[in-house]
Amino acid sequence: MATDAAIYPSSLVRAPGYMAWPTARRIQSSQGMAETKATNGAKSAEERKQAREPEMELIREAQAGSRTAFDTLVRQYEQQVLRLALHLTGSEHDAEDIYQEAFLKAYRYLGNFRFECSFYTWIYRIVTNLCLDQLRRRKTRREDRAVVLDHSGGEIDVLASVSDNRSFSNPGKELDRKVLGERIQSALDKLTPRERMVFELKHYQGLRLRAIGEMLNTTEETAKNTLFRATKKLRTQLAGLR
Amino acid sequence: MKCQLVQEQIVSATYGELAEEQANELERHMAACPECAGEHEQLLSLKAIAEAHPVLEPDANLIARARLKLDEALDALPPRRWYDRLGQRIMNNFASVWAAPVAACLLLVVGAGAGSLSGYQFAQNRATHTAATQSAPMLSATVTPATTPTAEVGAPAEIANISSIVRQPNSHMVEVRYNQVVPRRIEGSLDDPAIRQLLMLASENSASARVRDDSVGLLAAECRAGHGCRAAGMRDALLMVLRYDKNAGVREKALHGLEPYVAEDMRVRDAVLEALMSDGDPGIRTAAINILEPVEADTSVRQVLHTVSNTDVNPYIRNVSRQVLNSMPEIQ
């Protein structure tokens, strides 16, 4: 195996002593949050509510039976849904199925949506549950999904299609990358469906743990613990690659 | 800092889920603890490795295909008639399980409310019903001149009294509370507790002596016959009548009714003794002496008879009591 420096660029390797927490997603302590809330909290809540208002109007229309309103909603979320389903299942065909089932379900149960959460959360809840079902079914079938298939069943060279600025031009490295990719996927497959789901949503989709909790109908704390277990397992699996 | 906790915190921090203060504290800790710093390293490299399985944007063809299929499926759904939609709505509402406990509680509250309300109404009806016959004679005494309300009202004789008048502030609206009397009648056997209750009420506070006379007569007859006299409170009613009724004839009837119990019931005995000593009517005093015959041997009875034989205004009674005393020897 090539040295780690060749696999991914040095910029990603942190020298000991340099700690960089992801600043983009840094959250305030609860106290800090309370303070901010006190000063401009009411306003931002109002703003947020106002920002959601057009969507709420759209949802109400769809609930009343407007097909065009529903289609608009679909268009707003279809890309995210497909992205998630595609990455999780690794198959365009499966992703399409999930997309279909998810939006049909949404259409059927739109009446149940009571605006207590955002529509985004609601849709994602449906999708994640469908994905979980898929993962569970796969586990029992023990399929090997080391490669990504397109709709006609042909293999896609995943890594080749990734536009990157990491200058992986060396063919030897490309092969390494492919092997690495497969290793990752098999490690991910070894997680339980829930662990896989949480890792997917957190690491790949970048959702907050609180949102993940809502989508999986559990608490933020539970989601956090699941994430912790998942990372631990993955590290054990991929220990040799360091 | 426990290292298990720190490890978890490192994971949270690396994914941006740790609060700022805690993150800073963690940084400081890792500067000092190489083990935890190593953990952090490993996690970062895991994250990097995971990028080897990147998230792909779904290509336009995929999206188009999926959308098309969805449209077809939605078009294929049967058109929703109004009853379909209503049914769907109901099913959806049943499907939301967490509304169920709330609905159940609401149902319980509503049911309890309805039940207690109807129970209250029923009890009220019973109360007005029993009050009816005796409040009719009270009518003439308590009718007060009423302001002319706009609400409908029958002949003034039906209104027993006006209890309050409230004017709504800043308006022409006035609220008047008044009590109405509803004349009622009931027919039933003497065994009926309702009838008995009415009779007892009548014996206490009916304005008409004749009504009292009738009721006491009936109660006395019941008691003599032994028809559950004690439990139903009829005996108490008769005792009250004997003590307090103004009409001698009524008192006599009560005495007559209590006669069978003078031996067994101390209260009856005391009441009769009281009557013997203080009743204004000689006929009643005489009757009392006769009634006390079964208990002549009792000390308190003899004491009373002794007093009566000396102090009674009526000579005949003095005589009779003396006779009774003499006829019975003293108890050893």
Cβ neighbours, 10 Å, residue A67: 13
Q: Say if residue B281's pLDDT is above 60.
A: yes
How does pLDDT run across A179-215, given as a tens digit for each residue? 888 889 889 999 999 999 999 999 999 999 999 999 9
Of A23-32, B193-202, B283-292, the one with minimum mean pLDDT is A23-32
Q: How far B67 CA lies from chain A's nearest CA (Å)?
A: 8
A8 touches B at CB < 8 Å? yes
Q: B193-327 falls under which CATH superfamily?
A: Leucine-rich Repeat Variant (1.25.10.10)
The answer on pLDDT for A95 being more than 90 is yes
Q: Are A26 and B23 in contact (CB under 8 A)?
A: yes
Tens of pLDDT, residue by residue over B50-80, are 988 889 999 999 999 999 999 999 988 877 6
> Is the Cβ–Cβ distance between A131 and A98 less than 8 Å?
yes
Distance from CA of B37 to the nearest CA of A (A): 7
Assign A116 a pLDDT band (cuts: 50, 70, 90).
confident
pLDDT of residue B296: 78
More confident residue, B258 or B191: B258
Does A154 contact chain B (CB < 8 Å)? Answer: no
Q: What is the mean pLDDT of chain B?
A: 81
Name residue, tokens 């109908």. A217
User: How much is the pLDDT for A237?
Assistant: 87
Nearest C-alpha neighbor of B268 from the set B306, B236, B222: B236
pLDDT tens digit string along B119-167? 989 888 887 777 655 555 444 444 444 444 444 444 555 788 888 888 8
Question: Which of A99, A183, A186 is the best substitution to test chain B (most B C-beta atoms within 10 A)?
Answer: A99
pLDDT at A78: 93
The H or E element containing residue B2 is none
Please tell me the predicted confidence (pLDDT) of residue B96: 58
pLDDT per residue as tens digits for the range A120-130: 999 999 999 99
Is B60 touching A (CB cutoff 8 A)?
no
Residue B222 has what pLDDT?
A: 82
- Is there a contact between B70 and A103 if contact means CB atoms under 8 Å apart? yes
Residue boundaries of the structural domains of chain B: 3-50, 108-136+160-185, 193-327
- In chain B, residues with a C-beta closer than 8 Å to the C-beta of A226 are none
**Would you call A13 and B44 a contact, using CB atoms and an 8 Å cutoff?**
yes
* Residues contacting residue B89 through CB under 8 Å, at least 6 positions apart: A111
- Is A184 within 8 Å of B55 when comparing Cβ atoms? no
Average pLDDT for residues B166-171, to the nearest whole number?
A: 83
Q: Which of B5, B15, B84 to mutate to test the interface with A (most CBs of A within 10 A)?
A: B15
**pLDDT at residue number A8:** 41
pLDDT at B184: 86
B22 interface with A at CB cutoff 8 Å: yes
The answer to whether A188 contacts B27, with C-beta atoms less than 8 Å apart, is no
Q: CA B246, CA B206: separation in Å to the nearest integer?
A: 12
Q: Any chain B CB within 8 A of the CB of A173?
A: no
Helix (H, G, I), strand (E, B) or coil at A155: strand
Inter-chain CB proximity B44 and A74 less than 8 Å: no
Question: What pLDDT, on the 0 to 100 scale, is given for residue B201?
Answer: 87
Residue whose C-alpha is closest to residue A25's, from A209, A165, A201: A209
Instruction: Tell if the CB–CB gap between A96 and B16 is shorter than 8 Å.
Output: no
B81: nearest CA partner in chain A: A65
Residues 6+ apart with CB under 8 A from A55: A73, A76, A119
Domains by residue range for chain A, with CATH: 48-144 (1.10.1740.10), 168-242 (1.10.10.10)
Q: Report d(CA A226, CA A220) in Å as an integer.
A: 10
Q: Quick check: helix, strand or coil at residue A27?
A: strand
Containing H/E element for A70?
helix A67-89
At A3 the pLDDT is 43
pLDDT of residue B144: 42
Q: How many residues does chain B have?
A: 332
At A206 the pLDDT is 92
Question: Which chain A residues are Cβ-neighbours of B53 within 8 angstroms?
Answer: 87, 158, 181, 184-185, 188
Of the partner residues A4, A95, A112, the one whose CB lies closest to the CB of residue B92: A112
Is pTM beyond 0.80 here? Answer: no
The answer to whether the beta carbons of residues B193 and B122 sit under 8 Å apart is no
Split at pLDDT 50, 70, 90, the class of B5 is confident
pLDDT in tens, B212-252: 888 888 888 888 887 667 666 888 888 888 898 888 888 99
**Closest Cβ–Cβ partner in B20, B58, B88 for A32:** B20
Give the pLDDT confidence score for residue B247 in this predicted structure: 87
User: What percent of chain B shows pLDDT beyond 90?
Assistant: 11
Q: Determine, for residues A79 and B23 on separate chains, whether the beta-carbon distance falls below 8 Å.
A: no
Q: Does A57 touch chain B (CB under 8 A)?
A: no
Does the CB of A95 have a partner CB in chain B at under 8 Å?
yes
Helix H, strand E, coil C: the string for B300-320 is HHHHHHHHHHHHCCCHHHHHH
Residue A29 and residue B21: Cβ atoms within 8 Å? yes
Residues 198-217 of A with CB under 8 A from B: 202-205, 208-209
Per-residue pLDDT at A13: 42
A68 touches chain B (CB under 8 A): no
pLDDT at B224: 82
How far is residue A214's CA from residue A96's CA, in Å, rounded to a whole number? 24
Residue A85: pLDDT over 90? yes
- Chain A partners of B48 at a C-beta cutoff of 8 Å? 8, 12-13
